[in-house]
Chains A and B, each alone.
Chain A
Amino acid sequence: MPAVLDFEKPLIELESKIAELTSFSEEKGLDLSDEIDNLKRRADELKSSIFANLTPWQQVQLARHPDRPNTEDYVRMLFEDFLELHGDRCYSDDPAIYGGIGLFQGTSVTVIGHLKGRDTKENVSRNFGMAHPEGFRKALRLMEQAEKFRRPVISFLDTPGAHCGIGAEERGQSQAIAQNLLRMSVLRIPIIVIVIGEGGSGGALALGVGNRTLMLEHAIFSVITPEGCASILWKDAARAREAAEALKLTAQDLLSLRIVDEVVPEPLGGAHRDPYAAADLLRKSLARNLESLKDVPPEELVQRRYAKYRNIGSVGG
């Protein structure tokens, strides 16, 4: 049984009615195509109207949707001959971070990303995509290896945040994130960052310093979860809806704020309703962005990436 969000319910109900009617007409040999077409039209209209008017809180729910394609899904759909690589060479292999080498339209690329689980069991083993320091260090190792072999890096962001716990603190969660930010900035290769689901604060940014930052239409990227923001500012986690609005965490908002460079459209209804269509749309955008960076000299890649982050933030006075 797939997870259904509240605001998707009327649509799901209509769709199941259509399915029911279709099988009924086939069973009884009755021609109900007029009624069915009518319902389909209504479903399309409903879908358009729901998704044209999503609130920031609904975007948050979509970004966290358990059926939303994760990093591994996109890797499977977008890259050929992908080979997963493991470990940070210091401490362990963090299953919350996925990485390796694959072919994108014939070109070798290094892929890294946070990886949420598909179900509860996998989520427990992958820590819901929340990385420990060793995960960030694995990602950095793979990126520095990409530089050696002049491979572009494609980085998928999808995490509620960096792991919070005793071991993570002991092994230097802050140090690991800080190192990634600095060292990603000087890599002499193209880096393309794609926010595919939940871009959770510093744990997301630790994989997120790139030449181009793409963001899927229904992904979010935020300094703090709306729940966390509401409970700190208003001592009331239930005001998360309000916080989601105030935080300006949707792809459109972040495009306006120039935090992201491009919003990648999703199929109507969201990536979880049609992962292959979502991957097709992403492939087009990724190909175009890779192409635009292909012939840029290494020094200029570094310089442009630097300028992008150096200039974020308007200040009065």
Chain B
Amino acid sequence: MIVFKKPKYVTVPQEDKKEMPEGLWSKCPKCGLIIYKKDMAKNLHVCIKCGYHFRIGVEERLQFTLDEGSFVECDAELVADNPLGFPNYPEKLAEVRQTTGLSEAVVTGEGSILGYRTVVGIMDSRFIMASMGAAVGEKVARAVERACERQLPLILFIASGGARMQEGMVALMQMAKTAVVLKHINAAGLLYVTVLTDPTTAGVSASFAMLGDIIIAEPGALIGFTGPRVIEQTIKQKLPEGFQTAEFLQQHGMIDLVVPRCKMRETLARILMLHQGREHSAGSP
């Protein structure tokens, strides 16, 4: 278990906001606390005051979850095409690749968690809100197939705004692709765990995200089919506090566990152990 030093923090009144050096400080959207970014990183990008889980990218997720140096990426060469010839989509992709350093919205590969080998996939919401086009669908499908080939469990960290509009029906059909391919993992008796992070909505939540044998979510994560703003516009009323949060889904029987980021690694390791037995761990947890 990793122990973190209690980070120092200061509270800055609202009106001083513009004087803060851009990029060094973050403001907690839930409690308003202004946090030094370095301190936040030490606390796994979780607010030290209220426990708000900031969104994190692939790199942080790997660092916080997998054994150091254990991850090997696969299928990195799979990237989006422009199957519909959608206007400005290639430009959009180029721009996002430039700013994020990512080639697509999901990174997949193999690694270990406290010694337990697993196939893993991590979605990154900075990449067009981790929307699912053909490349994302294909990478997820191949991760499932790899788990079957290698007789390993599969853990997917989900974040997504849904199907990628610019790939139209090709994107929508990735919902079917990623769902149907899971029949293999079921037939092989292999474990499939999904970790739903902020936000998990629409076409991705309504396909492979909700099909885990065990479904975990990070505290406070937005999870749903239709996004809250669209629901509010449609029903013309405010949604109740906490609607579509991880905790709300757990109350309604839709997910198994809400696990804070600081406990994610050991929780996943325990789930892997419970499905494989202790002797399967390569290291010593």
Contact = CB atoms under 8 A, between A and B. Distances in A.
Interface in A58-100: none
Interface in B92-139: 103, 133-135, 137-138
The interface centre, meaning the residue of B83, B168, B202, B254 with most chain A CB atoms within 10 A of its CB, is: B168
B74 to A, nearest CB: 13
A159 interface: no
A277 interface: no
A316 B176 contact: no
B203 interface: yes
Contacts of B62: none
B256 to A, nearest CB: 12
Contact of A310 (B141, B171, B239): B141
A254 B172 CA distance: 12
A314 B134 contact: yes
A166 B78 CA distance: 37
B180 A309 contact: yes
A221 B170 CA distance: 11
B84 A247 contact: yes
A265 to B, nearest CB: 21
A143 interface: no
A266 to B, nearest CB: 20
Interface stretch (B9-17, B48-56, B230-238, B272-280): B230-238
Interface stretch (A38-46, A145-153, A181-189): A181-189
Interface stretch (A28-36, A117-125, A170-178, A286-294): A170-178
A169 B181 contact: no
A75 to B, nearest CB: 25
B231 A306 contact: no
Given A169-B225, A172-B252, A224-B165, A181 B87 contact: no
Contact of B138 (A177, A229, A313): A313
A224 B202 CA distance: 11
Given A181-B176, A181-B180, A309-B176, A174 B205 contact: yes
Contact of A232 (B77, B165, B174, B223): B165
Given A246-B87, A309-B173, A178 B211 contact: yes
Contact of B181 (A170, A246, A249, A310): A310
Interface string A175-213: 101110110011000000000000001100110110000
Contacts of A52: none
Contacts of A173: 206, 224-226
B154 interface: no
B179 A182 contact: yes
The number of chain B residues touching the other chain, given as a range, is 35 or more
A16 to B, nearest CB: 38
A124 B106 CA distance: 41
Interface string B45-88: 00000000000000000000000000000000111110110110
Interface string B152-189: 00000000000101011111111111011111000000
B81 A205 contact: no
A1 interface: no
Given A164-B226, A202-B203, A316-B79, A178 B173 contact: no
Contact of B172 (A170, A179, A201, A229): A201
B169 A202 contact: no
A106 interface: no
A254 B84 CA distance: 10
Contacts of B83: 257, 313-314
Nearest to B239: A166
A178 B252 contact: no
B160 to A, nearest CB: 11
A182 B209 contact: no
B179 A312 contact: no
Contacts of B167: 223, 313
**Which of A172, A208, A221 lies at the interface centre, i.e. has the most chain B CB atoms within 10 A of its CB?**
A172
A155 interface: no
A60 B80 CA distance: 27
B188 to A, nearest CB: 14
Interface of A: 162, 164-166, 168-175, 177-179, 181-182, 185-186, 201-202, 205-206, 208-209, 221-224, 229, 232-233, 246-249, 254, 257, 259, 305-306, 309-310, 312-317
22 contacts: A162-B206, A162-B225, A169-B225, A169-B226, A173-B225, A174-B224, A178-B206, A181-B176, A182-B179, A201-B163, A202-B175, A202-B202, A205-B172, A223-B163, A224-B163, A246-B84, A247-B169, A248-B169, A312-B177, A315-B78, A316-B80, A316-B135
Interface of B: 77-81, 83-84, 86-87, 103, 133-135, 137-138, 141, 163, 165, 167-177, 179-183, 202-203, 205-211, 223-226, 230-231, 234-235, 239-240, 243-244, 252-254
Give me the 10 closest cross-chain CB pairs, A-B, nearest first.
Answer: A313-B134, A181-B179, A185-B180, A173-B225, A177-B206, A164-B226, A174-B205, A178-B210, A174-B206, A223-B172
